[in-house]
Amino acid sequence: MESYYVTTPIYYVNDEPHLGHMYTTIAADVLARHQRLSGRDVFFLTGVDEHGQKVQQAAEARGIQPIELADQVVERYQSLWPELEISNDDFIRTSSERHKAGVQAMWRRLENAGSIYKDFYEDWYCVPCEAYWTETQLKDAGCLESGDSDSMHCPDCKRAVEKIQEESYFFRLSAFQDRLVEHIKANPDFIAPASRRNEVLSFVESGLRDLSISRTTFSWGVPVPGDEKHVIYVWIDALTNYLSALGFPEQEEPKYWPADVHLIGKDILRFHAVYWPAMLMAADLPLPKRIYAHGWWTVEGEKMSKSKGNALRPAELLEQYDADILRYFLLREVPFGQDGDFSFTALKQRYNSELANDVGNLLNRSLSMLKKYRGGVLGTVAEEQECDRALIADVEAMQREVADCMDRQAFHLALDRINAMVRHGNRYVEDNAPWALAKQGNDARLDTVLYHLVEILRLVALQLIPFMPGKMTEMLSQILDRPVQADEFSFSADGGWGLLEAGHQCRKPEPLFPRMD
Ligand code: MSP
């Protein structure tokens, strides 16, 4: 069986989960579920990033040990994911022994390859981003607060950076510049979307400097093997999670590696698309097939921030909205890769027009008519007309096009395509007017039309399972008249046209997406 490995970033434990974390994890879940339905052996990984100066400082501010803070926040993530129907296969913590072993083995591999040397680091550091900056980079980016170089800020997060001066190990990143450029050019799908690929390419082409990869002025991290006063740079530590979770180093060539796709936010592109591939090249390990950087959400037009107190918390959203509705909205509203705005008005509009009026209505009217005119029982299909054949052709085209969209992580287009199918179904109802057929006593045509409607609904629900696993199992239980599980289906066994048999009984419909006022 072909394997498929999808990852989310591992989330820092200095803060509670918010909309941004929920977004990437839902996107990864939708891919994982779609690939399982496609018959692939999927490994879906998420987890938490517990080490580093930022987490240590957050713990100090609360007067607790970093591991205590980590334990508290991990609990939040682990209870949230099932509520959002996240079907991850593993959850990696960077404080775990299995992960530390992976990080130290990665260090040794880089060292043995001659890619690490000791020197002295004297430049700037952004704790919130856990990123190094040179004075020149900061000045070039206009990041001087008062014209005085003691008050620099980070070009990415705009917060104050600090000057560090300490002994440090370095990774020979500069040695990989040419190979990285070559790899990115030879593999057009390696970094997506295309705008991000160009961004990385020009960053790499403008010249790479060696990277400081250890710190000595705090202790919360994985010690450098053989030189324990150094702690391994948190990004080297964190990136290695994608391998340590698979059993590296015990598994030299872990099953599932290389990853099919690392989903990340645009702010952490450089770490994933430059440092990580260079590390893997140095360690002589295969590179991930694809890195997809999505955009950022604002909330009601404003940047989310702790100080503004407007960070959307998944737990609070779930008190108001079903997980499926949130999943649908997040992936439908904004093309993956672009920035977007979360607004409650937009959520309600999309819900009412696409879920209540389109899918919900098609399900409800079709099963109601089947109940009313046929006691809920499907009849046999008489001779098919042009409009019936067009409907079937459209379903088959939808299945192919959705698969293609999902291979490109074009979630909004996949949903758009499914919605077009649903609208076709609703037009088919209008055009064939089953109520008129019933009145005329045209039973043969009535049975044919109702059969086509129920088959469409079944095949639409199958495509929507990854996006709305809860609602779609309800929808399929109404159609199949039995309790179902989201993971019992597959596209190959269940995706064909005409699998429902004459005589099959459907349930009386229950509103799946009641209108929101
Ligand atoms: N720990 C690192 C990742 C290490 S991966 C080897 C990290 N963690 S984080 O918790 O700060 O952020 C995790 C993800 O949340 C990032 O991909 C980031 O882009 C995403 N988001 C944070 N705020 C966001 C929005 N407002 N909107 C969308 N995603 C956002 O970075």
Query: Rounded to whole angstroms, how far apart are CA atoms 150 and 162?
Result: 9
How many angstroms separate the alpha carbon of residue 279 from the centre of ligand 1? Answer: 21
Report d(CA 497, CA 460) in Å as an integer: 11
Mean pLDDT, residues 284-290 taken together: 98
Q: Mean pLDDT across the stretch 301-319? A: 89
> Measured from the CA of 264, which atom of ligand 1 is nearest?
17
Helix (H) or strand (E) holding 46: strand 41-49
Over 90: is that where the pLDDT of 24 sits? Answer: yes
Q: What is the pLDDT of residue 34?
A: 98
Confidence at residue 145, expressed as pLDDT on a 0 to 100 scale:
73
Query: Cβ–Cβ contacts within 10 Å for residue 508, how many?
Result: 12
- Give the mean model confidence (pLDDT) for residues 243-254: 95
- pLDDT (0 to 100) of residue 60: 97
119-150 core/surface letters (b: 16 or more CB in 10 A; e: else): eebebbbbbbbbbbbebeebeeeebeeeeeee
Average pLDDT over the chain, rounded to an integer = 96
Query: How many Å apart are CA 203 and CA 239, to the nearest integer?
Result: 20
Counting from 1 in the atom list of ligand 1, the atom nearest the Cα of 21 is 15
Q: What confidence score (pLDDT) does residue 308 get?
A: 81
Residue 151: predicted pLDDT: 77
Backbone angles phi, psi at 152, to 5 degrees: -85, 155
Name the strands in the sheet holding 116-126, side by side, starting at the edge strand that comes first in the sequence: 131-133, 116-126, 162-171, 211-212
Give me the torsion for CA of 229, 233, 238, 242, rounded to 10°. Answer: -90
pLDDT band of 361, cuts 50, 70, 90: very high
Residue 245 has a pLDDT of: 98
Name which residue sits closest to atom 22 of ligand 1, judged by CA: 20
Is 136 a residue whose pLDDT tops 90?
no
Tell me how far CA of residue 488 lies from CA of 82, 83, 502, in angstroms.
18, 20, 23
Residues within 6 Å of ligand 1 by CB:
9-12, 20-21, 23-24, 49, 238-239, 241, 264-265, 267-268, 296-297, 304
- The span from the CA of 282 to the CA of 426, in Å, is 56
Cα 105 to middle of ligand 1, angstroms: 26
pTM of the model: 0.97
Query: 260: closest CA among 517, 3, 13?
Result: 3
Statement: residue 150 has pLDDT above 80: no
Strand (E) or helix (H) holding 348: helix 344-350
Confidence of residue 147 (pLDDT cuts 50, 70, 90): low
pLDDT digits (tens, 9 = 90+) for 441-463: 999 999 999 999 999 999 999 99
Q: How far is the CA of 23 from the centre of ligand 1 (A)?
A: 10
CA dihedral 392, 393, 394, 397 (to 10 degrees): 130
Distance CA 175, CA 209 (A): 9
* Token representation of residue 187: 């593999």
Kindly give the number of the ligand 1 atom that is closest to the alpha carbon of 11.
10
Q: What is the pLDDT of residue 252?
A: 86
Q: Which domains does the chain have, with CATH numbers?
A: 3-108+237-303 (3.40.50.620), 114-215 (2.170.220.10), 344-494 (1.10.730.10)
Nearest CA to ligand 1 atom 8: 11
Residues 243 and 103 sit within 8 Å (Cβ to Cβ): no
Mutate which of 126, 267, 274, 275 for ligand 1? The one with the most ligand atoms within 8 Å of its CB, which is 267
Indicate which atom in ligand 1 lies nearest the CA of residue 272.
Answer: 6
**Atom number of ligand 1 nearest to Cα 303:** 26
Cα 219 versus chain centre, distance: 32
Top mutation candidate among 7, 12, 94, 241 for ligand 1, by most atoms within 8 Å of CB: 12
Q: What is the pLDDT of residue 499?
A: 98
- Model confidence band, residue 149 (pLDDT cutoffs 50, 70, 90): low
Task: Name the residue at shortest CA distance from atom 5 of ligand 1.
Answer: 9
Query: With helix as H, strand as E and coil as C, how does 373-395 read?
Result: HHCCECCCCCCCCHHHHHHHHHH
Lowest mean pLDDT of 138-152, 260-274, 404-418, 487-501, name the range: 138-152
Mean pLDDT of 156-171: 93
C-alpha 368 – ligand 1 centre gap (Å): 45
Name which of 143-157, 184-198, 272-286 the model is least confident about.
143-157
Q: Using CA atoms, how far apart are residues 325 and 350, in angstroms rounded to an integer?
A: 10
